[in-house]
């Protein structure tokens, strides 16, 4: 496993197990098995309704808590709940998380960010982040934060490299954690000739080449899966390195094309949905 050093000096694995759209029993199994095979980054969210299962999976893995980098997210309906951070920790069964995000730039997000900063100062969150804060939202937050975030979680892949956003992020050393890292499973992207060629050259799958591209771009990736074989494959990307020439060839694929095509307002509007929580 390779690690990235964040702008606060903390180290984070560059590949983790994601749990988006994975039901609690499967999330528990995926997390447990991923940690057993060497993963050390786990990503979840209140909105995924599987935080308790993720917490159980971590405990069942037998891996010490301090070795696991746990990332989760507060939903906008919690941005004015002064107990939201403690409730998140309770669901996960931990005393702190390694990364705590705001999930959407909606509702009273500035108050939500102040909650993150407080959790960071008192040690309940070792690092903080923002999810889907692009365009005007990141521009506004940049003028108001007291503590710069360590991460932003956004859509990123070879068709959409977040080139413009990175101009802002690079000023502060903010890392990207990519969602849709494989283009939402788009066969057109995964089957691009350059990936097929490189997969053959390095004895890897096209998906593994794309994930390696992410890590060499400086991105962190959290592909989710219920398939243990796929989980294993997703982490086996550190025994080869793409050359500068190969990275430049892949860069030619960037066309500024997203798979999520909603407006910033529509993305923020997801906050109208209210998650329910596992009771287990």
Tokens 């060629």 locate to: 197
Is residue 260 part of the annotated active site? The answer reads no
Q: Are 98 and 175 in contact (CB under 8 A)?
A: no
Note every long-range contact of 22-26, with CB atoms under 8 Å and residues 24 or more positions apart, other chains counting.
22/48, 22/50, 22/224, 22/226, 23/50, 24/49, 24/50, 24/52, 24/53, 24/278, 24/280, 25/53, 26/226
**What DSSP state is assigned to residue 48?**
G
Select which of 3, 39, 48, 101 is catalytic. Answer: 48
Query: Which uninterrupted H or E stretch holds 70?
Result: strand 69-74
CA dihedral 253, 162, 102, 23 (to 10 degrees): 0
User: Residue 255 to residues 49, 102, 157, 213, 245: CA-CA distances in angstroms?
Assistant: 34, 28, 10, 16, 19
Q: Is 62 left (phi over 0), alpha (psi -120 to 50) or beta?
A: left
Residue 271 CA to residue 113 CA, distance in Å, equals 15
Q: Which residues are catalytic?
A: 48
């Amino acid at each position: 496993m390779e690690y990235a050093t964040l702008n606060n000096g903390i180290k984070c694995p560059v590949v983790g197990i994601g749990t988006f759209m994975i039901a609690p029993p499967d999330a528990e199994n995926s997390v447990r098995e991923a940690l057993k095979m060497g993963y050390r980054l786990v990503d979840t969210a209140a909105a995924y309704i599987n935080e308790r299962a993720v917490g159980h999976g971590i405990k069942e893995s037998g891996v010490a808590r301090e070795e696991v980098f746990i990332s989760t997210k507060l939903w906008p309906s919690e941005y004015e709940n002064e107990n939201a951070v403690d409730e998140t920790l309770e669901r996960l069964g931990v005393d702190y998380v390694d990364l705590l995000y705001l999930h959407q730039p909606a509702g009273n997000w500035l108050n939500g960010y102040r909650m993150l900063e407080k959790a960071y100062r008192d040690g309940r969150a070792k690092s903080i982040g923002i999810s889907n804060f692009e365009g005007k939202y990141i521009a506004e937050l940049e003028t108001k934060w007291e503590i710069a975030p360590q991460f932003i979680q956004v859509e990123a892949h070879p068709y959409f490299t977040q080139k413009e956003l990175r101009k802002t992020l690079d000023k502060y050393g903010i890392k990207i954690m990519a969602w849709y890292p494989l283009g939402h499973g788009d066969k057109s992207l995964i089957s691009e000739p350059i990936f097929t060629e490189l997969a053959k050259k390095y004895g890897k799958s096209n998906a593994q080449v794309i994930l390696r591209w992410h890590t060499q771009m400086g991105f962190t990736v959290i592909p989710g899966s219920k398939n243990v074989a796929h989980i294993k494959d997703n982490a086996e990307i550190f025994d080869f390195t793409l050359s500068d020439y190969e990275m430049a060839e892949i860069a030619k694929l960037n066309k500024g094309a997203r798979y999520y095509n909603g407006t910033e307002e529509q993305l923020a509007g997801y906050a109208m949905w209210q998650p329910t929580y596992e009771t287990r």
